[in-house]
Structure 1
């Protein structure tokens, strides 16, 4: 089909589309195909990579928005893509009504969508991974949207020529410190994890590695990041899922600490000062064992002040009390030892 025939075809086809709504974003409108009843989003772009949309027109992955057509018209680039119904992830996070498992599923869908883009030749980099560009469908699946900032990777390019991205989620290379590649989306996904899980300790290492300033020190690709996230797929639901070996080992450690401290206090004591030191050591040992047990088995995840895998103010207070008590006892021990050294037992 030559160019004239293509224009005639689109002009004829456009007569079947009716505009229903103009969005606040300039050049975006909701249209309906009156012959089929299907809804589409019509976008007029000023910055674009036509090859990205050519790839998407042939892609049929449920985690990406289906692109029906894309063409240049009067100096503009027009995209007609399927309208995805659901709710933005940013809204769901604002309401805080997603469980940790639902968030994990969303992250896996986002990683899967990025893997599809990165599998293109050359790879396509999304460059704007954020909650506002992810739609959560009624079935709980995630769809990665908005490819306006997407581009093909150019191996010979030393830095991005057009600086695009969202503040607080864009990688350093998007600000001219290098050229975007698949690791740019690793950075964006790391920021997304941080936005979804806050300061949850179990995600600290993953977020830290994914968002390193030097792309060479990040996960090498989105598949590696997805595998790292897979370690958190099975939630701790009850004591049986912690593993009896951990529970028995922890119990033995507690019993040993009790037995050891009891023996030191009542049998080997040479005076009140040593009794005091022993009691303080006993207190520190028990605090340490309790903290290790909570952290190792994941019991903190089931206490009232834990919510959706995030660290609440309650846990922070408990931890500060524990570590504060330990620090105070260490200072007290040092003071007692110093007094004994100066004045004698």
Structure 2
């Protein structure tokens, strides 16, 4: 261990070892007295922890130190004071529909953020011991917060692979593709959510029986745990919508409070600046759109020194509109368009910026090229 890592870790005094095999310990900061979790990992994807440290997602443990040396990652992360879902079930038994629905809602909203990362981040180990609960616990009630922990087996989706190279997951909760049949993606976590929902409601894995006391919930579990990923819910948002439509989240939805709680599904179709409902963003976006619309409707265009009029004037104005209005849509990843463009899918910011610039320039040239072709044909 180099001197820098030793120096940064020296501010934390070890209290007790939590899991020897995983290299997890509770530590206390010697100056503030704050308790943290220290992890020493040999299996990891550092880019995921770097992103988690920067993004500060709600209901995911915050990362405070992330240091790497010789194939080992040293982490200091937030200590979540609570109990695991596994412990909750052991103490209080299976959850009722309301409590189970709330747990799934928290997890769906967290997974939405992970899966919308470019490229998507797949947790790959959704199970009761990786879910931390906080609250004043009573049977079926008292759950206030739900945290998704342990990203040791998480990976960044690689569109160029056709299967996982490492077979990782927890037996009973892992999706079929985690055993080498195909590549893990966002739908792998959907499978884990389906198994988890079934386990919370009846204490059984899918192979041992599916919850049968509520027909619509049973259908949700069956769809989420289909062997073929194409037949599952394709996103966490889609699964959450199905649960809301089945009415099991009526009461739960009002209680869940995420710092950046997702808005209704239809809002993703709103233009950039209006999708998150933030006043400042909407004002800036409105000014931008109004300015370009006004410019495109009023700009005078000349051909060989003579002002254009009629049809070709409006064609030129439309070309200007198409050249510039696309920029905020592409740069803000409208409808996840980045998934179709290699450079902007890169986790490295420099390549993402290069990609954004190159694709924008290419769009300008494409519009001009099409316009010139049309003009030659019809004029």
What TM-score do you get using the length of structure 1 for normalisation? 0.64
- Counterpart in the other structure of 1:31: 27
- Counterpart in the other structure of 2:8: 13
Deviations 1:203-236 (A, max 9, x none): 110011000001011111111011111131126x
Looking at structure 2, the residues matched to 121 and 130 of structure 1 have their Cα atoms a distance apart, in angstroms, of: 24
The 5-angstrom pairing of residues 242-321 of structure 1 reads none
Structure 1 gaps of 5+ residues are 1-6, 236-345
Deviations 1:274-320 (A, max 9, x none): xxxxxxxxxxxxxxxxxxxxxxxxxxxxxxxxxxxxxxxxxxxxxxx
Q: Residue 77 in 1 paired to residue 73 in 2?
A: yes
Looking at structure 1, the residues matched to 71 and 219 of structure 2 have their Cα atoms a distance apart, in angstroms, of: 46
Q: Residue 159 in 1 paired to residue 175 in 2?
A: no
CA contact (8 A) 1:186 1:222 kept: yes
Deviation at 1:24, TM superposition (A): 3.2
Q: Residue 234 in 1 paired to residue 229 in 2?
A: no
- Counterpart in the other structure of 1:114: 111
CA contact (8 A) 1:28 1:43 kept: yes
CA contact (8 A) 1:124 1:153 kept: yes
Residue among 195, 198, 204 paired with 2:218: 204
Query: How many corresponding residue pairs?
Result: 231
CA contact (8 A) 1:122 1:152 kept: yes
Deviation at 1:78, TM superposition (A): 1.5
SS in 2 for 1:30: strand
Deviation at 1:57, TM superposition (A): 0.5
Deviation at 1:97, TM superposition (A): 6.9
CA contact (8 A) 1:102 1:140 kept: no
Structure 2 gaps of 5+ residues are 136-142, 203-210, 252-379
Residue among 225, 238, 245 paired with 1:224: 238
The 5-angstrom pairing of residues 124-163 of structure 1 reads 124-138=121-135, 140-163=144-167
- Counterpart in the other structure of 1:169: 173
Looking at structure 2, the residues matched to 142 and 205 of structure 1 have their Cα atoms a distance apart, in angstroms, of: 24
Deviation at 1:132, TM superposition (A): 0.8
Deviations 1:170-229 (A, max 9, x none): 001100000010000010101011101121333110011000001011111111011111
- Counterpart in the other structure of 2:189: 185
Deviation at 1:109, TM superposition (A): 0.5
- Counterpart in the other structure of 1:334: none
Of 138-147 and 128-137, the range deviating more from structure 2: 138-147
Deviation at 1:9, TM superposition (A): 4.7
Residue among 120, 129, 133 paired with 1:123: 120
CA RMSD of aligned residues (A): 2.0
CA contact (8 A) 2:66 2:76 kept: yes
Distance 1:107 1:197, change over 3 A: same
What TM-score do you get using the length of structure 2 for normalisation? 0.58
Looking at structure 1, the residues matched to 198 and 49 of structure 2 have their Cα atoms a distance apart, in angstroms, of: 29
Looking at structure 2, the residues matched to 83 and 53 of structure 1 have their Cα atoms a distance apart, in angstroms, of: 16
